[in-house]
């Protein structure tokens, strides 16, 4: 067994017992990442300063200094999170040469804790997509079966963690972009409550929805990384921080699990439904109380999500015009032509589709019919979740209607968007949610169980997920 195949907590113990060095862990993980790169395409850029960071950890350990458990652990970072001196592309031609002059807040926290950033992971362009195939640098493949997608938009982060090309990963989740690829790749993916992790340095897609999440091979590993990046930040005006001490207990006895009846009537593959129901039964057998709940607005959530997120994307991406930011076309006979050509050449099809949709729903004469109605539905959905959590502690749902899909599978955008029905409702409400492996389909592709908590009850979500993991949930992939 290679070093890179161990969990973060196992490696942390090995470091402290001097059974290996941080440099050895980094070099072994980098070697695995490079070995898999041609197959998986999980990375866009490798970090030239990573080896020095690992050596610095080894020096501190030799001096007998107490370090956070994450010190010396190789971490992949999604390429829409700013890293000082290392290019941050958002997998877009528009930013293919952009090198940020500052670190995102979460990167500062990881560096201060001694984490080793191995590189920037591949993704859907500007985090817009569900297969990590809309980006300028090519598609990310699933480590379980390279004919299949790793999911998106944080596909590179999930594929790296699942394959041993990273021990932990950071991703971003706007409508399911951490949870869905974690489910498809067979790892754990956590999306925190909106506001609990600073978005400073995260390149915006939809500002009222974007969150930075964590990916690992176990719940405890994922929790370890989350605890590092969860901290107060005055640079993010939407940030909410509550100082609390929390250790995972994994107690399921007496936990009330809600299952939304409207979601259970949605399409999902038989293997997904079977794995989900088996997971619910397993928790019930171990003391959880399962009950059916109703959220009538939930089936309209996908429509509301794509209206709101596209509207915000249209606004956020207006800055990329060839002058202030990003790629500039050489075909510029006039100023207006330069704007037009720079954006047409710099953005991919999916990003342009969402910009146009967002511009339309915000336009005069249509804003009331689309954007304001979507915002009203969002408020109603939030109220529905508040009421639901009066009846239960945790809501359980599938993560995705399929165990996987092949790269290049043809599908019209509306079909791709509708598959997000299980993840976008909690995104609209800003709720914490986690994907934990709960089985495989007949082809051996992983399937994820989603656990959702009420706002700012991230600890309950982690604890329920850890409890499920302890009783044998998931699989050893």
The catalytic residue positions are 78, 153, 177
Question: Facing residues of 340 across strands?
Answer: none
CB–CB of 474/437 below 8 Å? Answer: yes
CB–CB of 151/130 below 8 Å? Answer: yes
Q: How many residues does the chain have?
A: 477
Instruction: Return the number of other C-beta atoms located less than 10 Å from residue 241's C-beta.
Output: 14
For residue 343, give every residue at least 6 positions away whose Cβ sits within 8 Å of its Cβ, in sequence order, or none: 94, 320, 321, 322, 352
Torsions phi, psi of 427, nearest 5?
A: -65, -45
- Terminal Cα-to-Cα distance of the chain (whole angstroms): 14
CB–CB of 400/184 below 8 Å? Answer: yes
Q: Which of 354, 443, 449, 448 is nearest to 406 (CA)?
A: 443
- Per DSSP, the three-state class of 383 is helix
Distances in Å between the alpha carbon of 391 and those of 262, 290, 299, 381, 388?
16, 11, 20, 16, 5
**Structure-block tokens of residue 144:** 């379980």
Q: 208: burial class by Cβ within 10 Å (0-12, 13-18, 19+)?
A: middle
Q: How far apart are CA 7 and CA 138, in angstroms?
A: 29
| Calculated CA dihedral for residues 88, 94, 98, 101, nearest 10 degrees | -80
């Amino acid at each position: 067994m290679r070093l890179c195949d161990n969990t973060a907590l196992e490696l942390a113990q090995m470091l402290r017992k001097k059974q290996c060095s941080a440099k050895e862990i980094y070099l072994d993980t980098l070697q695995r990442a490079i070995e898999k790169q041609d197959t998986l395409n999980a990375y866009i850029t490798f970090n030239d300063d990573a080896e020095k960071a690992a050596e610095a950890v080894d020096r501190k350990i030799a001096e007998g200094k107490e370090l956070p458990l994450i010190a010396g652990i190789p971490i992949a970072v999604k390429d829409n999170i700013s890293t000082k001196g290392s290019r941050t592309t958002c997998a877009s031609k528009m930013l293919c040469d952009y090198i940020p002059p500052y670190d995102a807040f979460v990167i500062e926290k990881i560096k201060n804790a001694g984490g080793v950033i191995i590189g920037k992971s591949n993704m859907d362009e500007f985090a817009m997509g569900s297969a990590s195939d809309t980006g300028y640098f090519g598609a990310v493949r699933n480590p379980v079966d390279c004919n299949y997608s790793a999911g998106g938009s944080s596909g590179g982060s999930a594929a790296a963690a699942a394959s041993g090309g990273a021990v932990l990963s950071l991703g971003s989740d706007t409508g399911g972009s951490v949870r869905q690829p974690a489910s498809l790749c067979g790892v754990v993916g956590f999306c925190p409550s909106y506001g609990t992790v600073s978005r400073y340095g995260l390149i915006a897609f939809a500002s009222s929805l974007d969150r930075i999440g964590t990916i690992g091979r176990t719940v405890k590993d994922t929790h370890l990384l989350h605890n590092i990046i969860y901290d107060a930040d005055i640079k993010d005006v939407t940030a909410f921080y509550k100082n609390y001490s929390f250790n995972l207990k994994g107690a399921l006895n007496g936990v009330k699990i809600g299952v939304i009846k409207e979601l259970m009537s949605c399409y999902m593959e038989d293997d997904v439904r079977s794995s989900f129901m088996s997971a619910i039964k397993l928790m019930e057998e171990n003391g959880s109380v399962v009950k059916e709940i109703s959220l009538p607005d939930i089936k309209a959530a996908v429509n509301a999500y794509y209206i709101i997120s596209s509207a915000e994307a249209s606004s956020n991406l207006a800055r990329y015009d060839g002058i202030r930011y990003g790629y500039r076309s050489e075909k510029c006979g006039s100023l207006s032509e330069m704007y037009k050509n720079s954006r047409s050449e710099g953005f991919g099809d999916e990003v342009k589709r969402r910009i146009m949709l967002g511009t339309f729903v915000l336009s005069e004469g249509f804003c009331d019919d689309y954007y304001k109605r979507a915002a009203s539905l969002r408020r109603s959905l939030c109220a529905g979740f508040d009421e639901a959590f009066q009846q239960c502690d945790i809501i359980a749902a599938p993560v995705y209607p399929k165990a996987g899909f092949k790269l290049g599978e043809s599908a019209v955008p509306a079909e791709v968007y509708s598959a997000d029905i299980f993840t976008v409702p909690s995104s609209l409400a800003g709720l914490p949610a986690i994907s934990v492996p709960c089985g495989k389909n007949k082809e051996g592709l992983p399937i994820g169980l989603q656990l959702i908590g009420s706002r700012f009850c991230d600890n309950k979500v982690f604890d329920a997920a850890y409890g499920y993991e302890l009783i044998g949930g998931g699989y050893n992939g």
